[in-house]
């Protein structure tokens, strides 16, 4: 059994738009890439080694998540992106796959909690950029760039075949 991409969603814990945090669903993303990030290499090679170097794993380097989207200026989620970028706050975010339909909820720390029926990937990050592309014979498209901070946490909550 495979999971289709259609129906997958990106959620952000919006702690800026009002005095009470809210779960904000990103409108019209067309893809999500970049949940990886290699770990640093710590060189442990001794001076008397005459062959290859030796290494141990260092700290992970959280990468950037790229989210292309079709701009819908009337959508609150697109309007808020620009405000969140300017604020620079590190926020809770979650990608929920199409094997379920429930949205995440907020816990007592205003972090997103994974839905019980859906495979999800939670992470923290700040909005590094919101870029718009305007071209002839095309819709206005954008790219949301999120700089991750910390690890990605998988939640294997989807149905089993």
CATH number at residue 21: 2.30.110
Q: By three-state DSSP, how is residue 78 classified? A: helix
Query: How far apart, in whole angstroms, are the C-alpha atoms of residue 133 and residue 138?
Result: 10
Q: pLDDT tens track of the chain, all 161 residues? A: 789 999 999 999 998 888 889 999 999 999 999 999 899 999 999 999 999 999 999 999 999 999 999 999 999 999 999 999 999 999 999 999 999 999 999 999 999 999 999 999 999 999 999 999 999 999 999 999 999 999 999 999 887 77
Cα 93 to the center of its chain, rounded Å = 6
Number of domains present in the structure of the chain: 1
Give pTM, 2 decimals. Answer: 0.91
Residue 47 lies in a domain: no
Q: Give the span between the Cα atoms of 151 and 92, in whole angstroms.
A: 12
In a domain? residue 51: no
Q: Is residue 42 part of a domain?
A: no
Residue 114 lies in a domain: yes
Helix (H) / strand (E) containing 133: strand 119-133
Domain, as residue range, for 145:
9-37+57-155
Tell me whether residue 104 is in a domain.
yes
């Amino acid at each position: 059994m495979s999971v289709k991409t259609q129906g997958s969603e990106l959620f952000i814990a919006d702690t800026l738009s009002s005095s009470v945090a809210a779960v904000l669903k990103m409108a019209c993303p067309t893809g999500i890439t970049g949940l990886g990030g290699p770990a640093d290499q710590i060189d442990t090679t001794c001076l008397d080694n005459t062959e290859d170097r030796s290494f141990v794993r260092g700290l992970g380097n959280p990468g950037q998540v790229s989210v292309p989207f079709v701009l819908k200026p009337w959508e609150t989620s697109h309007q808020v992106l620009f405000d969140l970028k300017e604020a620079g706050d590190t926020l809770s975010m979650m990608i929920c796959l199409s094997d379920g339909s429930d949205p995440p909820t907020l816990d007592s720390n205003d972090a997103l909690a994974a839905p019980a029926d859906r495979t999800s990937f939670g992470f923290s990050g700040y909005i590094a950029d919101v870029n718009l592309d305007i071209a002839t014979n095309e819709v206005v498209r954008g790219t949301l760039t999120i700089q991750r901070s910390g690890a990605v946490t998988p939640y294997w909550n989807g149905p089993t075949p």
